[in-house]
A and B are shown apart, each in its own frame.
Chain A
Amino acid sequence: MTSSSMVKLKGVIASPGVVIGKAYLLDISKLHVTRKRIPPEEVDKQIKNFIEAVSRTEKEIMRVKDKVHQEMGEEYANIFEAHLLVLKDPLLIFEVSERIKKEYINVEYALWEVLEMITENIAALDDEYMRERVVDIYDIGRRILENLVGTTSVTLQELKEDAIVVAHNLTPSETSHMYKGKIIGFATDIGGQTSHTAIMARALEIPAVVGLRDISFRVKSGDILIIDGSHGVVIINPDEATIKEYENKKRLFDEFKAGLAWLKDLPGQTNDGYRVDIAANIELPEEVEVVKNEGAEGIGLYRTEFLYLDRTDLPSEDEQLKAYQEVISKMKPYPVTIRTLDVGGDKFLSHLGTPPEVNPFLGLRAIRLCLRNKEMFNTQLRALFRASTFGKLRIMFPMISQLEELRQTKRIIEEVKQELKIEKVCFAHDIEIGVMVETPSAAMISDVLANEVDFFSIGTNDLIQYTIAIDRINEQLVHLYNPLHPAILRLINYTVESAHKRGKWVGMCGEMAGDPLFTVILVGMGLDELSMSSGSIPKIKEVIRSINITEAKELVHKILKLQTTSQIEEVLKEVMYKKFAHVLEGEKN
């Protein structure tokens, strides 16, 4: 397909900013498969990898099929039947295994050759409908390849010049190379605002749009692209007038960013001297440099899922220790809050053998899963305690919904401490232990929980989803997902009060903490720490440094009396736009 005329696509906003540049198509099936010879003893392992990748792909397609069935009906879901049959095709498995065995080649290349052979056969058919199926077969091949690269390596490191990466999807292992690469923006077919790719893009401050459906089919490497991350728009092969228009937008956005840059080394402190710690959320040790550059005074949330996902075994204690130690020692003397494994919901570990759930967000996730897999939990806690001597560590537990869970968790911590003492392994004795407040139940019993923890961290993404009872990924319900629902504000306010009464501190690490619209309310409620994507830090500091704590408290007082979300939104916007239009509008240019 040629794409010389201008095409405008709309996707999901992942990371703000505008960038104009050349596309680099990360088409795994075409660009990254190279023939490698493997030693004879590797043959079995390569075949095993292939079979595992096929079965992971099958599960993925089953999930998509079920979703399509629910949303669009059986007829559409049947489209995936053919996909599943291709995956189960004995020919595919047989041919790929044979090639690995006979030619001693790597599995990716063997798969690629077999796909070529199959599609050539189909393309030769005198039947247009059949020829169109070639696309389906490539799609399946690509999915299998994606599931294979979790165990092999596809890198973006080889980029020689600045490029906008276009891909079907980016796996965590690919995004991890972005630090060293020359990536100035990216666009993907799939993904939502809270997907891994989107979080990473915000952390790196690279404009990005995700959920574009088929951009990886429309673009070829070298095409000129405009990414408008603030509006979720991508333009392929823009004409000259459009380039001019966006160059102007880019200049405005960059000026806005530069205008806030001086705030980096200043604390989050109000005019009248009230101090709020500004911290950053991270997923990977490599992010620490970016985060420090933006002026974070700590890590308020280090998500440890990355260590566990995209692999077939569990990370060892030493491997985890290495990652934790790197973050903790690089951030020293600032604190690092590490959240223990939070999978389930929308992220899964296939090797734990957890059966599929009808309602995974209300299922065996986070702390519930860890308490059921004690050995895995023990390994993570041991790694955390061993890492604690390298700086200031805080540990927090996700999805606590009752006091018993906290007590059980603390008993396990005591066991780990005893183990380490017997083994004469050193660990810090001032590690703070906290829980995430992300279920309405935890917020309601925060007075009780506060007696037995050192701190709380409010996870607003889940708290909103569970309180208002809406699936935050469901596009039909987006309008109901609003942090300003009176119930959410009351729960946050109550949690802070409960903690402060008992001399404990409260942080917030959800998306709400990084949105300047809410900053005055959060400061007024008394949040002690706000943790966010590092890109939001200057904006939030700008707001905090221009207000007084007394006026923030007055605003909270007024807003808590209002009855509806829309009233609250109206009052808040009026106040905020009067004073902070430049911050709220700034990144919308």
Chain B
Amino acid sequence: MNTTQIKTNSLQQAIIIKNKLGLHARAAAAFVKIAHEFQSKIHLKKNTNPGWVDGKSILSVMTLEASSGSQIIISAQGPDAKQALNKLIQLINNKFGEKE
């Protein structure tokens, strides 16, 4: 799938996926749904992979194959980048609200 050039003026943060199932369909949906709440462009990639994917594309996020324990980098670029990043990090830290 297409990868996107990430511009330099973006906020980035690395985080480890902690929930048991990883970034599977439901978790990916939760991620993309939050990404859609913000104007900023959201991208993410696995730290082992060079390719960035569009964080507002469920199909791209699903195929990222970020399983439990893998590290991902989230990038946000735009007027509400900080808020977007915070909320996404919070979602991942909360293990996508999954009970384990």
Contacts and interface: CB of A to CB of B under 8 A. Distances in A.
Interface of A: 81-82, 85-86, 88-92, 94, 118, 121-122, 125-127, 129-130, 133, 137
Nearest to B65: A125
A85 B58 contact: yes
B56 interface: yes
Contacts, number: 55
B24 A129 contact: yes
A125 B54 contact: no
Interface string B27-51: 0010011001000000000000000
A82 B65 contact: no
B25 A130 contact: yes
Contact of B26 (A82, A89, A91, A125): A82
Given A85-B33, A91-B54, A130-B25, 17 more contacts: A81-B29, A85-B58, A86-B59, A88-B36, A88-B58, A89-B59, A89-B60, A90-B57, A91-B1, A91-B57, A91-B59, A91-B60, A92-B59, A121-B1, A130-B62, A133-B25, A133-B62
Contacts of B25: 82, 129-130, 133
Contacts of A91: 1-2, 54, 57, 59-60
Which has the most chain A C-beta neighbours within 10 Å: B25, B54, B60, B67?
Answer: B25
Given A82-B29, A85-B29, A90 B24 contact: no
Residue among B25, B32, B60, B62 with max Cβ neighbours from chain A (10 Å): B62
Contacts of A86: 58-59
A90 B25 CA distance: 17
Contacts of B83: none
B63 A125 contact: yes
A3 to B, nearest CB: 27
Interface in B9-29: 21, 24-26, 29
Contacts of A130: 24-25, 62
Nearest to A98: B2
A118 B59 contact: yes
Nearest to A94: B2
B36 A122 contact: no
B88 to A, nearest CB: 15
Contacts of B65: 125-127
Contacts of B29: 81-82, 85
B10 to A, nearest CB: 17
A406 to B, nearest CB: 49
A127 B60 CA distance: 15
A92 to B, nearest CB: 7
A89 B58 contact: yes
A89 B24 contact: no
Contacts of A125: 63, 65
Nearest to A95: B2
